[in-house]
Amino acid sequence: MEKETFIVVGLGNPGAQYARTRHNAGFETIEVLVKRWNTPLNRRKFNGELVETIYNGHRVVLCQPQTFMNASGECVQELLQWYKVSLDHLMVIYDDIDLPLARLRVRKSGSAGTHNGMRSILACIGNQQGFPRIRVGVGAKPQGWDLADWVLSTYRIREEREDMEKTFVRAADCVEDWLKNGIEHAMQQYNTK
């Protein structure tokens, strides 16, 4: 029997100057999975860095788009076309300023909200919203901050950084739960405070 294929995309911006910024929550979650599964991102293809591996009997593609956030949809569209997976086999992980710092929200579908990476994905795949996503709370921008400056900033306080590192681990746990037990189970487990 052929293995089912699942695609897990963590959104972020490539390049050292963006590493560990709020906008790279998706990248950091992928990095947790890559280390945990001992499968480094070893291919540059479809405008992304990716690896194909086996997890829980499924073929799983882990990917960090290399297009910059506002064009993330180009990579996701190419992945979907190449692997021919249905949207419910795609998981997108991204930062969310509308959630408190270090809070996760798991959904099986939805709109892009204020997130440019998700807007790009929905535009590229024809505004079909029916795919799972994990939103990683990075906190609301402080008064007087420009939104772009906020999401491209790093965590200023050590405790914030530590809380976020725990959250990336929880987001990776959530991906594994989804792969083993489905989105409804993952939502029940990870939408708690």
Per DSSP, the three-state class of 141 is: coil
DSSP β-ladder status, 58-65 and 48-55 = antiparallel
Does residue 170 contact residue 177 with C-beta atoms inside 8 Å?
no
Residues 8 and 61 sit within 8 Å (Cβ to Cβ): yes
Looking at 23, 58, 115, 185, which residue is catalytic? 23
**Cα 190 from chain centroid?**
15
Which of 81, 27, 30 is CA-nearest to residue 60?
30
Evaluate whether 77 touches 126 at the Cβ level (below 8 Å). Answer: no
Q: Are 95 and 138 in contact (CB under 8 A)?
A: yes
Whole-number Å distance between alpha carbons of 7 and 83:
9
Confirm if 157 and 102 have CB atoms less than 8 A apart: no
User: CB neighbours (10 Å) of residue 53?
Assistant: 16
Residue 58 falls in the annotated catalytic set: no
Catalytic residues: 23
